[in-house]
Amino acid sequence: MSEGNGSAPGGRATIRISGLTKSFGDQTVVDIDELVLGAKPVEGLIGPNGAGKTTLMRLIMRSTRADTGTVVLDDGSSEVALSKLAPHRIASLGVVKTNQVTQDFAGLTIWDSLLLAVAQRHDERPHRIYRERHVVEAYGEEIQGYLDTFEFSEPGGFAHSAGEKKLLDLIRCLLLEPKILLLDEPTAGLSEEVTTQVIEMLRTKVAEGMSVIIVEHDLDVIWGFSDVVHFMAEGDVILEGDPDYIRAHSTVVEKYLGSGHV
pLDDT above 70 covers what percent of the chain?
86
- The pLDDT confidence band at residue 118, using thresholds 50, 70 and 90, is confident
Position 7 in a domain: no
For residue 228, give the H/E element and its range: strand 228-233
- Lowest mean pLDDT: which of 13-22, 96-105, 136-145? 96-105
- The single-letter DSSP state of residue 8 is P
Whether residue 171 lies inside any domain: the answer is no
Looking at the fold, whether 240 and 141 belong to one and the same domain comes out as no
26 within domain boundaries: yes
Model pLDDT, residue 107: 79
Q: Tell whether 53 is covered by a domain.
A: yes
What's the pLDDT score for residue 3?
A: 42
Do 19 and 127 fall into the same domain? no
Does the residue 170 lie in any domain? no
Q: Looking at the structure, do residues 111 and 95 belong to the same domain, yes or no?
A: no
111 and 96: one domain?
Answer: no
Q: 182 and 211 share a domain?
A: yes
Range of lowest pLDDT (66-75, 118-127, 193-202, 246-255): 118-127
Mean pLDDT of the chain: 87
**pLDDT for residue 79 is more than 80:** yes
Report if residue 1 sits inside a domain. Answer: no
149 shares a domain with 30: no
Give the domain range for residue 40. Answer: 14-103+177-261
- Residue 101, number of CB atoms within 10 A of its CB: 9
User: pLDDT digits over 55-67, tens only?
Assistant: 999 999 999 999 9
Residue 200 resides in a domain:
yes
Q: Would 166 be classed as within a structural domain? A: no
Mean pLDDT of 206-231: 96
CA distances for 162 relative to 103, 137, 191, 236, angstroms: 10, 29, 12, 31
| Residue 182 and residue 257 share a domain | yes
- pLDDT over 90 (residue 120): no
pLDDT at position 39, please?
94
Q: Where are the alpha helices (DSSP H) in 40-161?
A: 53-61, 87-92, 110-121, 133-149
Same domain? 242 vs 127: no
**Is 126 found in the same domain as 89?**
no
Residues 45 and 110 in one domain: no
Q: Could you tell me if 194 and 247 lie in one domain?
A: yes
Q: What is the CATH number of the domain that holds 222?
A: 3.40.50.300
